[in-house]
Amino acid sequence: MKELEEKIVQADCLETLEKVRVELFGKKGVMAAEFAKMKDVPGPEKKAFAEGLNKNKAALQSAFDARFEVLKADEIERVLKSEEIDVSLYSTLAKKGALHPVMETMDKIIDYFVALNFAVESGPMVEDDFHNFEALNLPKYHPARDMQDTFYFKDGGLLRTHTSPVQIRTMLETKPPIRMIAPGTVFRRDFDVTHTPMFHQVEGLVVDEKGKVSFANLKSILTDFLQYMFGDVDVRFRPSFFPFTEPSAEVDISCIFCEGEGCRICSHTGWLEVLGCGIVDPNVFKAVGYDDVSGYAFGLGVERFAMLMHQIPDLRSLFEGDIRLLEQFR
């Protein structure tokens, strides 16, 4: 009896315990064999014999039940442990953030000019008429003001329509020579496939003594810059007009999609317009009180660069906040 109880207690897993159960309580088990002995027990002793057997059986059964509870609990514990998930562990599937393509493009542009020792300047997004227009040779009622649909505040303030006011602010605050860029957010009342009311520009301005800054300098630096941005492209300067530069040019690169053959994106011209630039108009220098200086300036739209570099067809998708767009730039 002790020996049998011992077997139960020593079973170290449910499987072993099951074997012990068959051995003890099975059809051909120890208990069955004991009960089979009943028929050989003489009549008067039968009752006592049976009572003894039943008592032993009950004791074994409760020992078994107790052991079963313990082993079952162990088993559950073991399974739970093996399936445990440590939510605090670092996952290799964790999503990393990414720079927005507009900011990434902006950084790439800034890197180029910083390497050439240009200072990075900034100015307010809420501007006044003087810095955004007047000082840039855009007097009131000048027809060129219509080129830029402006958001006005009731008090006459406005959201800057370009980064050019930073030229004015920098010239008013410092003395030449100046070599600066001004990356920033600008606003215009425009909304279609290639225009959003908020977008980004990078402005450039170089000012030095009269005769030291030429259109040739401008041409060479912008050509190199555009090849840094777009690879091996042709660059051409087309005469244009800006109130704050004279002469002015718009700059095209050979179409990076058809390599100049002509396609839908370049409107079958083989060229993509990417920049505005020119020699700083004397009236701008007059407005900031600069004498005997020469300079060049340029301005570009960062979204346009990003769209071309990443072949993004609809500008608006850059600002819809759809994470699936950003995931493509991780």
CA 266/CA 273 separation, integer angstroms:
9
Q: Which residues contact 12 (CB under 8 A, 6 or more apart)?
A: 71
Q: How many CB atoms lie within 10 A of CB 321?
A: 9
The site map against ligand PHE for 217-236 (x = CB under 6 A) is --------------------
Q: Which residue has the tokens 């839908």?
A: 264
Question: In angstroms, what is the minimal distance from the CB of 162 to ligand PHE?
Answer: 3
Could you say whether residue 305 binds ligand PHE (CB under 6 A)? Answer: no
- Residue 297 in contact with ligand PHE, rule: CB under 6 A: yes
Query: What are φ and ψ of residue 178, in 5° steps?
Result: -125, 135
Please identify, using beta-carbon distances, which residue of 16 and 185 lies nearer to ligand PHE. 185
Rounded to whole angstroms, the Cα distance separating 2 from 280 reads 108
**According to the binding rule CB under 6 A, does residue 164 interact with ligand PHE?**
yes
Classify 72 as helix, strand or coil.
Answer: helix
List phi, psi (to 5°) of 280.
Answer: -55, 130
**CB nearer to ligand PHE: pick between 60 and 184:** 184
Tell me if residue 314 falls in helix, strand or coil: coil
- 162 interacts with ligand PHE by CB under 6 A: yes
Does position 298 interact with ligand PHE (CB under 6 A)? The reply is yes
- CA 222 distance to own-chain centroid: 29
CA distance 257 to 272: 10
Contact pick of 182, 276, 294, 307 for ligand PHE (by CB under 6 A) = 276
Near ligand PHE in 311-330, by CB under 6 A: none
* Interface pattern 173-212 for ligand PHE (x via CB under 6 A): ------------------------------x---------
Cβ–Cβ under 8 Å, residues 14 and 73: no
Alpha-carbon distance 294 to 292, whole Å?
Answer: 7
- The answer to whether 246 is a known ligand-binding residue is yes
Q: Which is nearer to ligand PHE, 21 or 160 (CB)?
A: 160
Among 277, 279, 284, 315, the residue binding ligand PHE under the rule CB under 6 A is 277
Q: Residues 64, 225, 237, 242: which binds ligand PHE (CB under 6 A)? A: 242
- Supply the minimum distance, in Å, between the C-beta of residue 131 and ligand PHE: 12
Bridge partners (DSSP) listed for residue 275? 251
Q: Count residues contacting ligand PHE (CB under 6 A)?
A: 11
Q: What are phi and psi of 186, to 5 degrees?
A: -135, 165
Q: Does 165 bind ligand PHE (CB under 6 A)?
A: no
Note whether 11 binds ligand PHE by CB under 6 A: no
Q: In angstroms, rounded to a whole number, what is the distance separating the alpha carbons of residues 286 and 137?
A: 10
To ligand PHE, the closest distance from the beta carbon of 121 in angstroms equals 14
Footprint of ligand PHE (CB under 6 A): 162, 164, 203, 242, 245, 276-278, 297-299
Task: Give the residue ranges of the annotated binding site for Mg(2+).
Answer: 246
